[in-house]
Structure 1
Amino acid sequence: MTQTIVKASQRIDLEKIQKKKINLVVFGHGNVGALLIDQIIASRGEIIRRKNIELNIFAIANSQKLLLTRDNFSEDWRTVKCENENSYSIEDITNFAKRFNLDNLIAIDNTANSEFVKIYPYLIENGFNVVSSNKIANTTELSFYKDLRKKLKDHGKEYLYETNVGAGLPLVDTIKLLHLSGENITRIKGVFSGSLSYLFNEFSAKDELFSTVLKKAIDKGFTEPDPREDLCGNDVGRKLLILARELDLHNEIDDVKIENLIPLSLRLVPKTEFFNSLNDFDVPFHIKRKNQKKDHVLRYVGELRGDLSKNDGAILDVRLLSVPKNSMLGQLKGSDSIFEIYTESYGKNPIVIQGAGAGAAVTARGVFGDILRLSDKLN
């Protein structure tokens, strides 16, 4: 009996020894970042139990302040952050990781900062893998895009960014797998923005002013703090460019033709003046809705097409379209996104990926999924 107890104890100790520890630094703790930290902390025990992986957040940072710890933040991390934040340089984080021999490092970028992505190469050189909801690294100059991939290869590191296009939907991975398997993708078409999905789903279904629907979208938190960041179409354009580059197409952001939905008079005015002038949208969008064919609805659509096998670029369009109500795009509801992927093998029947396309919680959960996928790959 005594011998059995010893063996059981030894087995438990062995499990502890074999537990894989993943060390995380979270950059950006706004809506998405804060929810992600909460999700990781709440799920930590379950992940250890099911996967024998311990997720250890050792650093939380924004553009100005840094909080460091050797052993996991707890649910009260916001209070600790407020009491202990210090100004920092990026070297403080890499030096901390080296000093305490932290391995299996993942840097998580939940910012929308164009300058921060320039730090990715430094992080990779210093042992970090990268998970990002920030689209900028994948949509800046093609030279930076290619150099970043070379840096990752040279240092044996990973870069995951599923949420760059479909929030929590498995779109980027699907495109990658199809392309790597030799499948010739001929066209990708869809509603890429959950914010604009909600806006036009509601506007097409109800006899309401565009400004009324826009105000509802703002109140529900579906838009950016300045809705013009959604309405200008640049976000959809960046997502389309990311998919083009996944197909090894040599496109730049200037190649994307984007229909800006904002009236000229409101594009450059202060945000307060913009919010006070939402009625300027009403007449032009009422005309668009009224002039549609019967049983058609408005959708803001991104489309990638052309002879994609040549790898020299594609036609990339972002525009407001009137589509049949009974089509896949026309049947979209709420803030869902939808993507139709056409390939040679599937012919006229596309692969369809559809689901929640907006919201900080959905994006945070998608980033969390990338962290877990990457954790499985690390030693």
Structure 2
Amino acid sequence: MSTQVLDNPVINRIDLNTIKKKKINIAIFGHGNVGSHLVNQIISSKEEISRRRDLELNIFAIANSKTVLLQQDGLTKNWIDEKIESGKEYNPEEVISFAKTNNLQNLILVDNTADASFVRNYSNFVENGFHLVSSNKIANTLDLNFYKDLRQKLTSKKRQYLYETNVGAGLPLIDTIKLLHLSGENITRIRGVFSGSLSYIFNTFSEEDKPFSAVLNSAIHKGFTEPDPREDLCGNDVGRKLLILARELDLHNEFEDISIQNLIPKDLRKVSKEDFLNRIQELDVPFQIKKKNQSKYFVFRYVADLHGDLSKETGALLDVSLVSVPKNSMLGALKGSDSIFEIYTESYGDNPIVIQGAGAGAAVTARGVFGDILRISDKEN
């Protein structure tokens, strides 16, 4: 005797609105240029992401160094006004307590600050169930003991830590290097122009007949540099990015191991920002001399270079310096504020893997952070 199943449209109909979507609860620290772009990107994309991926992205906390706004049901497009009205002084532990009290699951901490002290909270957040996403480079450039302890904690708690935007803003660089390294590919060298601001400055200075101070002022006014451009010109930011890539290859380097060429004259390094900006014409003569002495068809690039014996934990050399390269080379052909990364491997020989594109900009960086959030969200239960 057979059994017939009738097609009952009432019984078989699935009400898509009753399907429970996976809710991702996000705490964002830092809402300057990158952070505010990120919040607005998430809010404007929520409905589309909900429709396409069955994900509900809920920003339950937004904080800067002074105040936090905590909302169980998430931020609205008026979040700036709401934070001004309802934000309160806090410590990071209160954000963890709020998540516990309201039984929030699938937690992600996003660090868009540049705060060296805030990263010391990472371990506590991981201990309390948070994944980590960060555009802040500092946690990956502190001493090796902190670096290793954090990763051990992440492994023991089965949490993820994504930081694709630490180097190259939104470019798929760190993921590429991780995959190559984990697959057993022997990376022999990584070289490139890691700073979008310094890329613009030296691309322009090499091509145009302008004093260095005029080019620097143009970069400042276009928003390519930090508020104090010495933070770019000193080379430390490029050095941190190079160190991050070295550690991705399991190299045991510290920041002190990097040879960095500081482009700021010694007598301008410790004056106030205002004094420096009033005296930037003092940079013109030394840079004009460099340009005059440069070979024909060569251009300046501020280059980071990881080389040496990268198969040994302590065999790497890390150099950051202003170099002169042929105009028709990959580095020499760089335009605008793009970054470029050349990854040399044993298998590819003299032909590097090249990753090039926009290496700076708040919107680009925020989009990269957003991508890291979505990668973690897709893997959550």
Instruction: Return the alpha-carbon distance in structure 1 between the equivalents of residues 91 and 270 of structure 2.
Output: 34
Partner SS state of residue 323, structure 2: strand
Output the amino acid matched with 1:140: L
Q: 8 Å contact 1:222–1:359 — kept in the other structure?
A: yes
Which letter maps to 1:201? N
CA distance in 2, matches of 1:79, 1:6: 47
Partner of 2:9: 4
1:65 equivalent in structure 2: 67
Identity of aligned residues (%): 66
The alpha carbon displacement at 1:311 in A equals: 1.9
Q: 1:228 maps to which residue?
A: 230
Contact 1:251 / 1:313 at 8 angstroms: preserved in 2? no
Correspondences of 1:224-373 after superposition (within 5 Å) = 224-373=226-375
Given that 1:107 and 1:131 are in contact with CA atoms closer than 8 Å, whether structure 2 keeps it comes out as yes
Partner of 2:98 in structure 1?
96
Q: Which residue of 2 is the match for residue 167 of structure 1?
A: 169
Q: Report the equivalent of 1:143.
A: 145
- SS of aligned partner of 2:303: strand
1:290 is matched by which residue type in structure 2?
A: K
How many Å separate the matches in 2 of 1:364 and 1:213? Answer: 27
Q: Output the CA distance in 1 between the equivalents of 2:378 and 2:210.
A: 49
Please give the alpha-carbon distance, in whole angstroms, between the structure 2 residues aligned to 1:281 and 1:5: 78
Instruction: Give distance in 1, aligned partners of 2:319 and 2:10.
Output: 67
In the TM superposition, residue 7 of structure 1 has moved relative to its aligned partner by: 3.1
Counterpart AA for 1:339: F
* SS of residue paired to 2:343: strand
**Partner letter of residue 4 of structure 1?**
P
Segments of 4+ in structure 1 off by > 4 A?
none
Say if 1:59 and 1:93, in contact at 8 Å, map to a contact too: yes
Residue 130 of structure 1 aligns with which residue?
Answer: 132
Which letter does structure 2 place at the counterpart of 1:375? Answer: S
Letter in 2 for 1:128: F
Cα distance, 1:2–1:76 mapped onto 2, change above 3 Å:
farther
Alignment partners' CA distance in 2, 1:346 and 1:58? 46
**Paired residues, number:** 376
Higher helix share: 1
Segments of structure 2 that go 5 or more residues without pairing to the other structure are 1-5
Tell me the distance in 1 between the aligned counterparts of 2:93 and 2:360. 34
Q: Kindly state the Cα deviation for residue 310 of structure 1 after the two structures are TM-superposed.
A: 1.5
- Structure 1 portions without partners, runs of 5+: none
Partner Cα separation in structure 1 for residue 269 and residue 328 of structure 2: 34
Distance 1:119 1:106 in 2: 13
RMSD value, Cα: 1.2
Q: CA deviation at 1:2?
A: 11
- Partners of 1:283 and 1:248 lie apart in 2 by 42
Q: Residue 378 in 1 paired to residue 380 in 2?
A: yes
Give the Å deviation of 1:313.
Answer: 3.9
Tell me which residue corresponds to 2:3.
none
**What is residue 38 of structure 1 aligned with on the other side?**
40
Q: Give the letter aligned to residue 162 of structure 1.
A: E
Q: Which amino acid aligns with 2:238?
A: V
Residue 184 of structure 2 corresponds to 182
CA distance in 2, matches of 1:333, 1:53: 38
CA distance in 2, matches of 1:2, 1:188: 62
CA distance in 1, matches of 2:288, 2:93: 54
Deviations 1:309-346 (A, max 9, x none): 12224100000000000000000000000000000000
- Separation in structure 1 between the aligned mates of residue 186 and residue 96 of structure 2, nearest angstrom: 42
